[in-house]
Amino acid sequence: MKLRSKLLLSLLVAGIALCLALIFAGRWSSPGRHSDAAYVALLNEAYAAVVQNYVEKPDAKKLVQSMVDGMLSALDPHSAYLPPEPYHEMEVQMAGSFGGIGLELGTKDGRLTVIAPIEDTPAFRAGIQGNDHIYKIDGTPTERMNISAAVKLMRGEPGTPVVLTILRGDSPQPRTFRLIRAIIRVKSLKSRLLEPGYGLIRITQFQERTGDEFSQALQGLRAASGGKLKGLVIDLRYNPGGLLESSVQVVNNFIGDDAAKTLIVSIRGRSPDATQNFQASLGPKEPHYPIVVLINGGSASASEIVAGALQDHHRAIIMGKQSFGKGSVQSIFPLRDKGALKLTTARYYTPSGRSIQAKGITPDIEVGTRGPMADKDAGKGAELREKDLENRLEPSGEERDAEVEPTTPRGAKKGAADTARDYQLSRALELLRSLDLMREKGVAAMP
């Protein structure tokens, strides 16, 4: 009898152990066995545990926003939750103006890092440089701070101060910059004649009106040259990108006189809605005068779309240094709290099918900096590139070739004397003169 009781007890204990094992195995088995509903249930379970048991009652709104931030930060550097205020500011920025100090930000080695200052802004005038590590904002350390939170601290009422503590290069000594916030009116582009017949259009960012402004600039340069241009420089250095549609409109001025060659850019994502081809409209286009496009390590996204399209269609010579390499498309999904998700939904490809994600556009003619502009860049580290960003998307397919690390100037200056000091711009103008001379002399291009 005792033996039978012990046997039954043993079987009962073994059965309970087996049941518990099956329960925990179901909850903690390999991720591949979980359904989406199971993961959401786990999230709800964790949220309930925090709300019920944390030492102090947490702010539910902040808690949920942090959960969303954490989820998106695990994807790639360009996906983010935009609270209502930053979302509104982003819309304003794309329209051409916003409040702040004028910085393009990224993360490198877990640190908040400057990609590039926007020209003619408080940050630009103060001398903040690409690759600077922002250590503190108004005394608040930026360790573990995401970009959205950093932007929120830097934005504010025009005329109010913000203090940035910055580490530069290998120097252990921090630098302090006291900046006065201003309305940042990002000028989409500037244009001028380099000399009679040769025009320059510098695009600083692709905004809503960039396409129209570019066409107007072409008309103005043509009129100032007596009705005809001999050559054009499109300066995209330190252009961080912007609206894809505007970059398509810029290229449309030069592509579309051949019905068989109208593709400007294609985007390919996981969903059918995220896959699309952008074609040039058919009709009369700009005359086939020579074009040089200047790029560098600060040329990203929409800038690379323009450079890649003109390069693939053999409509321009690309000159400068390797571009940033941001070959992904972000879509905006408005949320019920008046915020939005900025989510990477596709990669984009040049007309020949190249993905430049984490690679960049390779110039046809590589030209660095010399003279005073190079002296200004002396001691600066390699510029921040897409491939340096944490959690960035891998290049499409097997495109993982070695890349050139650029060291480049802040950008073109006005006036003939400044053009001479800008070595890359002077080389572009020299090339345009040479091509025009060959045309006048009837020299045929080598096969």
| Active site (catalytic) residues | 301, 312, 326
Q: For residue 254, how far is the Cα from the chain centroid?
A: 24
Amino acid (one-letter) located at 400: R
Q: Closest by alpha carbon to 388, among 435, 324, 337?
A: 324
Q: Closest by alpha carbon to 76, among 298, 347, 302, 324?
A: 347
* Extended strands (E) in 157-260: 161-167, 175-180, 182-185, 189-195, 198-203, 231-235
Q: What separation in angstroms does the CA of 281 have from each of 24, 260, 331?
A: 60, 12, 24
Q: What is the dihedral of CA 261, 265, 268, 269, to 10 degrees?
A: -160
Q: Are 29 and 21 in contact (CB under 8 A)?
A: no
DSSP string, 83-133: -HHHHHHHHHHHHTEEEE--EEEEEETTEEEEEEEPTTSHHHHHT--TT-E
